[in-house]
Structure 1
């Protein structure tokens, strides 16, 4: 039996039509921006005190990681970019509360330490987790600029602590500067 030779199929436009992609990056970014706006601006309009707790628990209960990934490329002076940075800080504190407490405690000599209210002395892992949650509750119940200033202060104290402990501090210092810059921008004109 002789097998006939045929030309292999050439991928053309129709071939690629059926291939699913990861989504349009512009649409993903737009969805992330809209979610950030709803979380920051919409949540504040709520009179339900449980909204703040639900916002904090999104990562555990609703899989906010997917939305947060859409925020990851956002500039630091946007709502999405700010939420990404706040999300990172909270994830880090919850992943390593003992390390966060040790670094925060080592950095308490910083002038900015007084800005971060509500931290026990000395701060332990539970106290640092409670403090970061209290800061983030401000997204709903307080002024967003204040949330950013407090998160900037917390990360600046940690950066000082890291340098005192001879740990690498440049990334967390940059994060602190970005949060502080965004807070000033929020005061001048609400971030979008």
Structure 2
């Protein structure tokens, strides 16, 4: 994971932004006309309507089918479609909307699977002893990178075939622990930097900058966790649209 790099940006814009995503041909889950309409400079109100309609249609379709192939195709939508195409549909939606929340869930999965080893380590730092967060997120206190990848799929799949609010709460618990791991790492770097500065060690000046980047990334994750929890509350009240 490149802490503090462009791999994660503010949750109020794009949430998690995995890098290096390919853009293969569009599968059948998304109507090409929707994307073409947006790319063609459609009216913002029309873009919003298409975003909400496509998110609701996708969620409704999977909720009403028991076909595991459909679930698998939706789960890997970003892998097959390319994150930029999904972004055209949902990335500009507010975090308290269905398309905005689905966008963040898809990017969370991509980010977790793309940086599973680093995230597993951060989880072990942020959650050294199993707590309620471990139970909610469904992650052991010492996960492997394979555990992180499985959890990424499980959270997103749960949004489509299980209780949507529960999936959001799992996502929130997960991002909170990773954010805590980043904050612990930042504190360690700051302490090491102070010790190195006192000893006159070369390179000590770079450590505060890295610690600041870790804290910035942790802050973004905490905002995203709040978005997930708020989304869960709205869903339970029938107000997430």
TM-score by length of 2: 0.66
Partner of 2:145: 125
Partner of 2:178: 158
Shift of 1:32: 1.8
Cα distance in 2 between the residues matched to 1:42 and 1:35: 11
- Residues 172 and 226, structure 2, Cα contact 8 Å, conserved in 1: yes
Cα distance in 2 between the residues matched to 1:162 and 1:138: 26
Q: Which moved more, 1:90-99 or 1:134-143?
A: 90-99
TM-score by length of 1: 0.81
Cα distance in 1 between the residues matched to 2:101 and 2:149: 19
Cα distance in 2 between the residues matched to 1:171 and 1:40: 26
Write out aligned runs for 1:87-102 (5 A): 87-102=106-121
From the superposition, tell whether residues 28 and 66 of structure 1 become closer, same or farther in structure 2 (CA, over 3 Å): farther
Partner of 1:41: 60
User: Which one of the candidate residues 172, 182, 187 is aligned to 2:221?
Assistant: 172
Partner of 1:116: 137
- Residues 104 and 158, structure 1, Cα contact 8 Å, conserved in 2: yes
Shift of 1:145: 0.6
Cα distance in 2 between the residues matched to 1:51 and 1:100: 29
Cα distance in 1 between the residues matched to 2:107 and 2:91: 10
- Residues 52 and 139, structure 1, Cα contact 8 Å, conserved in 2: no
User: Which one of the candidate residues 164, 167, 185 is aligned to 2:234?
Assistant: 185
- Residues 36 and 80, structure 1, Cα contact 8 Å, conserved in 2: yes
From the superposition, tell whether residues 69 and 94 of structure 1 become closer, same or farther in structure 2 (CA, over 3 Å): farther
- Residues 115 and 153, structure 1, Cα contact 8 Å, conserved in 2: yes
Give unpaired runs (5+ residues) of structure 2: 1-38, 187-213
Task: State which structure, 1 or 2, has the greater radius of gyration over its C-alpha atoms.
Answer: 1
Count of matched residue positions in the alignment of Structure 1 and Structure 2: 172
Aligned-CA RMSD value: 1.9
Cα distance in 2 between the residues matched to 1:104 and 1:26: 40
- Residues 149 and 179, structure 1, Cα contact 8 Å, conserved in 2: yes
- Residues 77 and 191, structure 1, Cα contact 8 Å, conserved in 2: yes
Give unpaired runs (5+ residues) of structure 1: 1-19
- Residues 113 and 152, structure 2, Cα contact 8 Å, conserved in 1: no
